[in-house]
Amino acid sequence: MQSAIDAIILADSNGNVVACNQATRTMFGRAMEEIVGQPVSVLVPERYRRDHEAGIKRIQRGEPVHLIGKTVELHGLKKTGVEFPLELSLASWQTERGRFYCGIIRDITERKRAEDEIRLLQTTALSVSSAEDLSAALRAVLTKVCEATGWVVGQAWVPRLDGLCLECSPAWYSSVSGVKEFRRENEGFTFLPKTGPPGRAWIAKQAVWSPDITQEGNSPRSRSARKAGLKAVMAVPILVADQVVVVIEFFGREAQDKDERLIQLVTAVANQVGLVIQRRRIQEQFDRFFTLSGDLLCVASFNGHLTRVNPAWKKILGYTTDQLVATPYFDLLHPEDRQGAEAEFERLKSGSSIVSYEMRARGKDGAYRWIQWTATPAPDEQVIYAIGRNTTERRQAEEAIRKSEEHYRELFNEAKVMQEKLREVSSKVLNAQEEERKRISRELHDEVGQALTAISVSLQLLKQKAAKVGQGLDTTVGETQSLLEQTMYNVHRFSYELRPAMLDDLGLVIALRWYIKAFAKRTGIKLNFRADSQVEQLANEPKTVLYRVVQEGLTNVYKYAEARRAEVIIRRTNEGIRLIVKDDGKGFQPDRLDLSSKDKSGLGLVGMQERLRLVNGQFADAPACPRGRGRSCPS
């Protein structure tokens, strides 16, 4: 019982309290001895005590108690004299000492406050929504608040256009007589910031309460209120976007202490009015936007007619508003677009929105314009809200771009065909070059080489005979023989470099090993060569390409890298065969190679790339390596 949230009171049949819990003492603001042993009537407002005492007498006479087992709403009285609404559930039981009653009491002040607020908000909302303008809306608010709260006069104050003071609004309400002079005088008043209840509420942005305005000095308004018999004042600001747009003011006949409940209630009403004002301003802004927008804005009914259009329609299509409203909008569409537009229209009627849909609309001049529509339906209103953007110029530009793309696509395809033809020619040239190298190499080896060998043998015999003759002839023959041997070596080297016979006879690895050894001897560059034996499984053409790429790569190393060491690596990977040529010389920037320069320094790289493409290979260069460069040529 003591831990219960609700108040619990036990009383005897004489109506005296025999016990209560802590919640009872808290609810009524009384000590234990001020409740227990006292008649229950001390907790009942004076105006209800006669009925309460009559009920006790009926109980004492044994008459039935109709409240048993029911929940009723009554009023309680705090020790301070303040009344509050409560909810009472009553039960009884019989004992040897007589009949006792148990009352469970719940304070419903908050619930009643919420109900009052909701009721006032609902009635005010209905009145304000139907008001034609701000003054009518304010009159509705003043009327509803006064009728619901008992205030007898209501009026409103609005900031002057210059924002320096408040001036009296035409809206006002009175439920009593004798206040016309008060109203007439107030129409001439203005309030500076922090002056009077309206001025203070304006600056504070919150309600201001004056228990008795007649006691606030001897100002003209105080004297006017005194003559009209008005005392208590409450001023409440109405805010929109945190700015005070109106201050509503209420007067009572009697002096009254500040009532927080009432302030909260009227503040809630003021907030609602603020929302209405804000909506009206938004509507005004929308109307301005509707008028000024360069896009086509419209409201269309579900029956196929436009009900509202903005001026952009006349500018874009040339029709007047009357002409558009009188014409079914499907009649304005291009015949080819009508079926699709009707399908989109049915989607809108079913409740779906359209994000983007383009169609052609006929202008007054007979020409069609492309319009891109965004639309959303309002099924309850049976209308569609839509925005249309003129995309005719964009469409024309897109068509021009499309034709241009087709033209360049044709050129690209032609270039691609030419490129393929060039590659075919390049392949044939390289193959022919290899065949010619092979032929020249064979002729140098077989014919020129044999002839030089025969000459060498003859010179050897001549040298032997000259030794017998004397006179220095043997020396001359010896010098000629040395020159011939050097010529034979060069012919043999040229023959090998043109097409090494061992590439065809002994394979790629042995041919490269011989070439790299000779290259190192000739250039002084220290070379390391590693190769996997699987490369010999390649066809002749890829092996020839790899051999030529190594040749060209090492030639570039010798000519441009200023390297001391180089390395050639050939290995098989999952992708195929990878060839790497790297050195410790200086690097270069491939994008800065000048093929038009006299030394044609970039042609070697281009040649390597073209050779690799013929066997589906790829060329990668790493010029940024700090110690030189490397080439990776998977094929």
What is the tens place of the pLDDT at every residue in 57-104?
Answer: 887 777 777 778 788 899 999 999 999 999 999 888 888 888 888 989
526 and 568 in one domain? yes
H/E stretch holding 508: helix 508-523
Are 534 and 594 contained in the same domain?
A: yes
Q: What is the CA radius of gyration of the chain?
A: 55
Q: Is 565 left (phi over 0), alpha (psi -120 to 50) or beta?
A: beta
**What's the total number of domains in the chain?**
5
Beta-strand relationship, 526-531 and 565-572? parallel
**Residue 491: which pLDDT band, with cuts at 50, 70 and 90?**
low
For residue 49, tell me if it sits in a domain. yes
- 326 with 412, same domain? no
User: Are residues 145 and 267 both part of a single domain?
Assistant: yes
DSSP label at residue 195: S
Using CA atoms, how far apart are residues 69 and 58, in angstroms rounded to an integer?
A: 17
Quick: pLDDT tens for 443-472: 565 656 566 677 777 777 776 776 666 656
138-150 per-position pLDDT tens digit: 999 999 999 988 8
Q: Are residues 149 and 267 in the same domain?
A: yes
Chain length of the chain: 635
Let me know whether 164 and 247 are in one domain.
Answer: yes
What share of the chain in percent tops pLDDT 70? 85
- Are residues 300 and 274 located together in one domain of the fold? no
The residues, any chain, with a CB within 8 Å of residue 268's CB and separated by 6 or more, are 117, 120, 121
**Alpha-helical segments (H) within 167-254:** 180-186, 196-204, 220-228
Do the domain assignments include residue 360?
Answer: yes
Q: What order do you get walking across the sheet with 368-378 strand by strand? A: 306-309, 296-301, 383-390, 368-378, 354-362
Co-location of 146 and 35 in the same domain: no
CATH for 512: 3.30.565.10
pLDDT (average), residues 589-599: 53
Helix (H, G, I), strand (E, B) or coil at 228: helix
CA–CA separation, 534 vs 143, rounded Å?
103
Which of the listed residues 86, 107, 128 is the one where a domain comes to its end? 107
| Residues contacting residue 411 through CB under 8 Å, at least 6 positions apart | none
For residues 237-251, give the mean pLDDT: 94
> Which amino acid is located at 631 in the chain?
R
pTM of the model: 0.46
| Residue 33 identity (one-letter amino acid) | E
- Cα 214 from Cα 47, distance rounded (Å): 31
264 and 132 in a common domain: yes
427 pLDDT exceeds 70?
A: no
**CA 554, 555, 558, 559: dihedral to nearest 10 degrees?**
-150
pLDDT computed for residue 626 by the predictor: 44
SS3 37: coil
Q: Do residues 256 and 305 share a domain?
A: no
> Which residues, at least 6 apart from 394, have a Cβ–Cβ distance to it below 8 Å?
370
571 in a structural domain:
yes
For 600, the token pair is 């044609």
Q: Of the residues 218, 250, 285, which one is the last residue of a structural domain?
A: 285
pLDDT band for 575, please (50, 70, 90 cuts).
confident
Tell me how far apart the alpha carbons of residues 131 and 140 are, in angstroms, rounded to a whole number.
8
Which structural domain range is residue 98 located in? 7-107
Mean pLDDT, rounded, for 5-16: 89
